[in-house]
Amino acid sequence: MSETSPFFSYDDDPDHPGWKRWVATDPTRFNTLLGPLSVRVDGDIARVRMVPEHRHSNLRDHVHGGALLGFIDVAMFAGCRGFGILDAGGAVTLDLSTQFIGGAAIDRPIEAQVELLRETGRMLFVRGVIVQGDDKIAAFSGTLRKNTRK
C-alpha cells in the first residue's frame, strides 16, 4: 500500500516486511538528513527506526545529541502517522522534553518507541524511549498541535 502526500511518502518497506518506510519527498528539507525511517505499530506502541551514519556522529563517534533530538522530534510525527492520526504537513511540535540516559553507537539502528497518551481536538500528547538493542538511550515526552484548517 502506497500513500504519498506533497511532503512524505509512506509505503511498505521492501527491505523490512511488516514495516512502512517514511521518507520526505523534498530532498532539500531537514528530515532527509535523518535518512529514510521505518515505522511499525505494535499494539499501543509505534516503533520508528533510523540507521545512523557518520554524518550523525559527534567527536566521540557516538550519535550526536542534536541528531537524536531531531530524530525524536520527527519520530513523534512518524509514530502518530503510523497510528493513523496525522497526515504529513502542517502539524507542529509545541514542546519536547528529553532525558539522555546513554550514548548511541553509529553502527547500529536506533529505535523510538512512541506511545500516544492522549488525543484532544487539536493536541497530541506522546511519550517514549529511544533504544539501541537492549540499551536505553533517552526518554522523551512531547506535545504536538494537529493541523488546523484555514
* Among the listed residues 65, 66, 69, 71, the one whose alpha carbon sits nearest the alpha carbon of residue 51: 71
Domains in the chain: boundaries: 2-145
Per-residue pLDDT of the chain (150 residues; tens, 9 = 90+): 445 566 777 888 888 899 988 777 777 778 778 888 999 999 999 999 999 999 999 999 999 999 999 999 999 999 998 999 987 567 899 999 999 999 999 989 999 999 999 999 999 999 999 999 999 999 999 999 998 765
Residue 36: predicted pLDDT: 87
- Hey, what's the torsion of the CAs at 71, 47, 19, 28, to 10 degrees? -10
Q: Give phi and psi for 5, each to the nearest 5.
A: -110, 180
Residue 9: predicted pLDDT: 75
Residue 1: predicted pLDDT: 45
The DSSP secondary-structure symbol of 105 reads B
Specify the 3-state DSSP secondary structure of 80: helix
pTM metric for this prediction: 0.90
Q: Which fold has domain 2-145?
A: Thiol Ester Dehydrase; Chain A (3.10.129)
**Mean predicted lDDT score pLDDT of the chain:** 90
With cell 500500500, the residue in question is 1
Q: What is the pLDDT of residues 113-141, one digit of tens each?
A: 999 999 999 999 999 999 999 999 999 99
